Amino acid sequence: GDISATSPAVIYFAPYNSSTRLVRSTDEGENWALTSGILPGYVTKVLVHPNATDIVYANLGSSIYKTTNGGSSWTRLTTPGSVYIRDLCFNPRNPAVIYATGYYYGASPYRVALIRSDDGGASWNAFYFDTSSTNAYGYSLAIDPNDTATVYVGGYRGSGVTTVYRSVNRGETWEELPFGIIGYYPYAIYISPANSNLILVAPYSYGIYRSTDRGQTWTRVATTAAVYRLTGAQGNSAVIYASTSNTVYRSQDTGRTWSVINRGLVSTPNYCLMTSPNRQSGVYVGTKCGLFSSTNYGDTWENLIADVYLSRVRVLALANDERTVYAECQDDGVYRSTDNGATWVRCPDFLSCGNIISIAVDPRNPLAVWALEGSG
């Protein structure tokens, strides 16, 4: 998901479905509506133009789509061939400039790819780097907010090494920084807006690493689970958030130490993380159980939009009272409604297993439910 930088009441949220319609709010998440345009695949990143809330970019991996009417219709952009895209972002000072990273699979071995558009996605320049003897991939991307010619890419080399690359000329040439951690995919990289020397990188399942010298040396500051996103509080550079495979963490000292902030959150993968552009304490996290928001730096959370509205419902069961309904959402547990589906509550997880394939409700007691999961 993403929030408009100049109109923070406008939020877009992408369900993770094979055919996707974005969900849009124009009142900071109080009310939501599905957009009408359908994207032909899983959306992994959404960018909202900071000066025009109807202009949105969506990454589908093998392609980038653009809408100029708030998601009513989409146009596939012509990006360089044989490039699979993992991450994309705007130049923070000029949204006509868009960067995307991933890997170029038109050569063997694969190479890290950085593509750049200077005209809002109408045309692209491509740069391929890391000429090692094994496949190399780009996974995460960050632009130095104080020097927008400087671009960082978090990568992974097929031999099992997490890598960090830097360009000081908008992606034209690249150097590999001395990171070299034996790890996995770095889904998240973060540069402090107050201090360009401060960089955080999160190799998958290997915690969070911190540098205070522009990537020349690194210190492991957290041993968290798999980190999907890193972002900072707007207007308070000391506060940084990390969303992981099972919770959300917060640092209040520029990444030196971290603590769990999950009061009101359901324990589930937290793929999407955003901070409010105009409310210093505002933060959003998207999970399989919906979109949650906090107005107090993550001390408490509220579910803004339930995943029943977004998910693929695979199993339904209706109780004899004709008001109680149970629904199983793919990869997202069981929900119950007691008002014919007007509102829904997620039932507590009862097994760490696969999807539920059948639900039966006791005809004499709508609170007694049997569920059969796929593993038996």
Contact 138, 157 (CB under 8 A): no
Query: pTM to 2 decimals?
Result: 0.85
Q: Which residues of 329-345 are buried (b: 16+ CB within 10 A; e: fewer)?
A: beebbbbbbbeeeeebe
**Paired tokens of 163:** 């890598």
* Exposed/middle/buried for residue 277 (C-beta within 10 Å: 0-12, 13-18, 19+): middle
Alpha helices, H only, the chain: none
318: phi then psi, degrees, rounded to nearest 5 = -115, 130
Q: Where are the domains of the chain?
A: 2-308, 312-373
pLDDT in single tens digits along all 376 residues of the chain: 777 777 878 888 887 777 788 888 888 877 778 888 989 988 888 999 988 889 999 999 889 999 999 999 999 999 999 999 999 999 999 999 999 999 999 999 999 999 999 999 999 999 999 988 899 999 999 999 999 999 999 999 987 899 999 999 999 999 999 997 878 899 999 999 999 999 999 998 899 999 999 999 999 999 987 899 999 998 999 999 999 988 899 999 999 999 999 988 875 667 788 888 878 999 988 877 677 889 999 999 988 765 445 555 555 565 666 577 677 666 566 777 787 666 777 776 655 555 666 666 767 777 777 776 655 4
CA distances from 232 to 268, 355, 363 (A): 21, 35, 51
308: phi then psi, degrees, rounded to nearest 5 = -55, -30
- The residue among 63, 335, 340, 87 whose CA lies nearest residue 202 is 87
CATH of segment(s) 2-308? 2.130.10.10
Contact 130, 165 (CB under 8 A): yes
Question: Cβ contacts of residue 87 below 8 Å, gap of 6+?
Answer: 45, 59, 100, 101, 102, 138, 139, 140, 141
Residue count of the chain:
376
Taken in order 251, 257, 263, 265, the sign of the CA dihedral is positive
Host H or E run for residue 77? none
